[in-house]
Amino acid sequence: MRTFSHRWGATRNGDRWRVATWAPKQDDLLLRVGTDELAMSKEADGWHVADVSADDGTEYAFIAQGETYPDPASRWQAGDVHAASRLCDPASLPRADWHGRPWEEAVVLEIHVGTFTADGTLRAAAERMEEVAALGITAIELMPLAQFAGDRGWGYDGVLPNALHPAYGTPADLVAFVDAAHAAGIMVLVDAVYNHFGPDGAYIHALCPSFFDDGRQTPWGAAIDFTRPEVRAFFLQNAEMWIAEYGVDGLRLDAVHQIGQPDETDFLRELADHVAGLDLGRPVHLVAEDERNLASYVGHGALRAQWNDDYHHAVHVLMTGEDQSYYAPFSDDPFGDMLIALRDGQVDQGQPRPRTDETRGEPSDHLPPQRFVNSNQTHDQIGNRAVGERLIALTSPEDMRVMHAMLCLSPFIPMLFQGEEIGSRAPFQFFTDFHGDLAGAVRKGRRDEFPEFADARDEIPDPNAPETFERSKPYASPPPDADEWRDLTRRCLKLRVDRVVPLLKSGWQRTEATREGDRSLRAAWTFAAGRLEITFADGEPAPALSTPEILTMEGPRVALHVGLEGN
C-alpha cells in the first residue's frame, strides 16, 4: 500500500506515533500530548513533525500563537469538533476476511446512519444487514461519516474528514458494521466530501490557509487548492483510510465538479489510480457525482460509474409534470428524455437543451450501462424539496411500483434511497444541529430558498428542530403496503441477479432505443450472452416484446414489459 513521506495526522509505529501537519505559514507549532507539550520540527517544505510515545486514545492538539486546535487530520475526537483529537489507529482493529464483489453485481441502498434505525448508530445499522441482504441489496452507500458540528445533520458540513462522527459510534463500531455487511454479502461505500469544509469547526483555515484557493468559492464555502501536492495527499490519504484501514469497498465522491477548476478531472484520475493500486486483494469502486456530465474519465482506474441525475430528472418530470429550476430542460419532452437516458445513460451530452442557454456534458453513448448509477429518488432529490416529499407522495403508489421495477431490472446500476424498498412515504427533510447566529442563518436561508412558499414560510421545517430529524426516519412508521413493496423489491432483484447480472458480466455490445408512439418506447441492450428488452408506455398500450417475457407491471398510467433471451 502506497504511503506518503509526510503523512497527515498521527501515524502509529509500534509504541510510538509520528504526528505531522502541513502549515507553511506557521513559524512554530507546539504539540500537546496528554499533559505534555513539545515543539514540533518545521521542515523546509512547510511540514511540522514530532515523534512521541503514547497510548492509543491519548488526547493531543496543536498550539499555534497561543490558540489550541484539533488536528485537521484527526481520526477520533475526544468530544465535538472543537475538542482535542485522540491518537487512533483504525488499521489495528481486527476485521473479518472479505474478497469483495464485482461492480456488475451492485444494487445500492443509500442510507443515513442517524435515521436508518431508531438508535441512529452503526451498531444498530449492523443488526439490519441480513434483513437488507434478503431483499437483494448488495451494496450500502453511507451518507457522509466525517465529523461535523452538533449531533444531527446530513453530513455534508463535515470539518474533520478523517474523524468518524461520534453520534454514529466509534472507529471499532464502523469496523463492526463493515464486517456485518460483508458477512451478509453486502459491499460498503462511504460518501466522501472533498470539495469544501463545513461552516463550524474547520480549524484548518486558521492552521493552514495555504490549503485553500484564494480566487475561488464553492456554493458552500472556500474552494480547496488542488494544485498543491500536500492538499492532494490529504484526500488521497482519506480515501486510503476508509478503504484500506476501515475495509470499505469504495467511495461515492460528492460534487466533483467543485474539485479544482471547471472541467478539471486530473485529481479524479489520480485518485482512481491510487485506490486501484492499493493491492488489497479485492476490487475497489469509486462513484462520482458530477453536474458537468463529463464522461471521458468514467471507467478510469477504480472509477466505476457516475450518479445519473438525468435519468432521475426525466422520471420525476414525467411522473409529476414539475418544471421549476433544474427540471425545466426536462419539461418539454420528459418521455423523450427518458428514452435518451435508457439509450445513452446521460441526457445532456453537450447539445442545446430547451429552456436553458447553458450546455453541459460529453457524449456518453460509448459507455456500458453499468457506468451509470440510476435512481428514482436520492437524499438530494427528496431532501432539497421545501418539505422533503418522496416521489411516491407526488404520484400514485401503483405507478411508482412500475417505475421501481424498471429501475431494478434495467441494466444500469440501481440505487434506492432508504425506505424506498418498502414504499415509505416518510419525508426526508433537511436537518442540522447548529446554534446561535449560524442556526438562524441556516433557518432563514432555507426558507428564502423556496420563493413559492413566500406566503407560507412557516410550512418549511426548521432545520435545527429535533422533530425535523425525527420525521425523516423512514422505518419508524412503515406504510400499510410495506409487505407488498418488499415482495416486489425481492422479486425484481431476484430476477436481476439470476438473469440480468450474467448479461452484464458477459460484456455489453450495443443499445437500441426507439420511440414506438407518442408516449411509448422500446429499449434493448445486447450483450455477449444475450439480450435484455424493455417496453414502456405512459397512457397508452406498451409495445409487444420481441423476447421472452420475464415481468409485466401495470399502473393507472404507466405499463412495463421486460423480456430477456439468452444467458
Quick: pLDDT tens for 468-496. Answer: 999 999 999 999 999 999 999 999 999 99
Domain count, the chain: 2
Domain that holds residue 47: 9-92
Q: Is 312 labelled as part of a ligand binding site?
A: yes
Out of 200, 245, 289, 433, pick the active-site residue: 289
Cα angle 537, 540, 541 (rounded to 5 degrees) comes to: 75
Place of cell 480547496: 224
Q: Which of 25, 59, 92 is the last residue of a domain?
A: 92
Residue 167 has pLDDT above 90, yes or no: yes
User: How far is 564 from 61, CA to CA, in rounded Å?
Assistant: 60
Grid cell of 288 as nine digits: 462520482
- The answer to whether 224 and 233 are in contact (CB under 8 A) is no
Neighbours of 65 (CB within 10 A): 9
Q: Phi and psi at residue 506, in whole multiples of 5°? A: -75, -20
Q: Which of 36, 59, 92 is the last residue of a domain?
A: 92
User: How far is 290 from 65, CA to CA, in rounded Å?
Assistant: 40
Neighbours of 91 (CB within 10 A): 16
Quick: pLDDT tens for 63-87. Answer: 999 999 999 999 999 999 999 999 9
CATH number at residue 60: 2.60.40.10
Q: If you write DSSP's letter for every residue of 120-153 in order, what string do you get?
A: -SHHHHHTTHHHHHHTT--EEEEPP-EE-SSS-S
**Global pTM value:** 0.97
Is-catalytic flag, 127?
Answer: no
pLDDT at position 518 is: 95
CA atoms within 13 A on the CB side of 280: 25
Crossing angle of the two packed helices 397-409 and 482-495, in degrees rounded to 10: 20
pLDDT at position 59 is: 98
Q: Is 340 labelled as part of a ligand binding site?
A: no
Q: Per the domain annotation, does 561 fall within a domain?
A: yes
Q: Whole-number mean pLDDT of the chain?
A: 96
CATH number at residue 527: 2.60.40
User: How far is 547 from 411, CA to CA, in rounded Å?
Assistant: 16
Closest by Cα among 543, 402, 423 to 477 = 423
The sign of the CA dihedral 317, 320, 321, 325 is negative
Residue 1 has pLDDT above 50, yes or no: no
Is-catalytic flag, 254?
Answer: yes
User: How far is 469 from 434, CA to CA, in rounded Å?
Assistant: 13
- The answer to whether 546 and 533 are in contact (CB under 8 A) is yes
pLDDT at position 3 is: 47
Q: Per the domain annotation, does 434 fall within a domain?
A: no
Closest by Cα among 23, 38, 473 to 205 = 23
Q: Is 19 labelled as part of a ligand binding site?
A: no
Quick: pLDDT tens for 267-284. Answer: 999 999 999 999 999 999
Quick: pLDDT tens for 284-339. Answer: 999 999 999 999 999 999 999 999 999 999 999 999 999 999 999 999 999 999 99
Q: If you write DSSP's letter for every residue of 247-306 in order, what string do you get?
A: ---EEEETTGGGSSSTT--HHHHHHHHHHHTS--SS--EEEE--TT---TTTTSTTEEEE
Give the percent of the chain with pLDDT over 70. 98
The residues facing 251 across adjacent strands are: 190, 286
Quick: pLDDT tens for 503-536. Answer: 999 999 999 999 999 999 999 999 999 999 999 9
Out of 104, 245, 249, 254, pick the active-site residue: 254
Q: Per the domain annotation, does 545 fall within a domain?
A: yes
Q: Is 382 labelled as part of a ligand binding site?
A: yes
Quick: pLDDT tens for 102-119. Answer: 999 999 999 999 999 999
Q: Is 311 labelled as part of a ligand binding site?
A: yes
Query: Per-residue confidence at 2, pLDDT binned at 50, 70, 90?
Result: very low
Closest by Cα among 165, 162, 160, 172 to 150 = 165
Q: What share of the chain is helix, strand, coil (3-state, %, to 5)?
A: 30, 25, 45
Q: Is 384 labelled as part of a ligand binding site?
A: yes
- The answer to whether 285 and 267 are in contact (CB under 8 A) is no
Q: Per the domain annotation, does 514 fall within a domain?
A: yes
The residues facing 67 across adjacent strands are: 64
Quick: pLDDT tens for 195-251. Answer: 999 999 999 999 999 999 988 999 999 999 999 999 999 999 999 999 999 999 999
Residue 271 to residues 1, 2, 256, 430, 507, Cα–Cα distance (Å): 14, 12, 12, 30, 26
pLDDT at position 454 is: 56
Q: Per the domain annotation, does 56 fall within a domain?
A: yes
Q: Per the domain annotation, does 166 fall within a domain?
A: no
Q: Per the domain annotation, does 107 fall within a domain?
A: no
- The answer to whether 179 and 95 are in contact (CB under 8 A) is yes
Quick: pLDDT tens for 36-66. Answer: 999 999 998 999 999 999 999 999 999 999 9
Q: Which of 27, 59, 92 is the last residue of a domain?
A: 92
Q: Per the domain annotation, does 87 fall within a domain?
A: yes
Crossing angle of the two packed helices 266-276 and 229-240, in degrees rounded to 10: 40
- The answer to whether 275 and 240 are in contact (CB under 8 A) is yes
- The answer to whether 547 and 525 are in contact (CB under 8 A) is no
- The answer to whether 31 and 40 are in contact (CB under 8 A) is yes
The sign of the CA dihedral 262, 267, 268, 269 is positive
pLDDT at position 453 is: 61
Q: If you write DSSP's letter for every residue of 145-211 in order, what string do you get?
A: -EE-SSS-S-STT-SEEEEEPGGG--HHHHHHHHHHHHHTT-EEEEEE--S---SSS-THHHH-GGG
Place of cell 507549532: 29
Collapsing DSSP to helix, strand or coil, 55 comes out as: coil
- The answer to whether 367 and 382 are in contact (CB under 8 A) is no
Q: Is 380 labelled as part of a ligand binding site?
A: yes
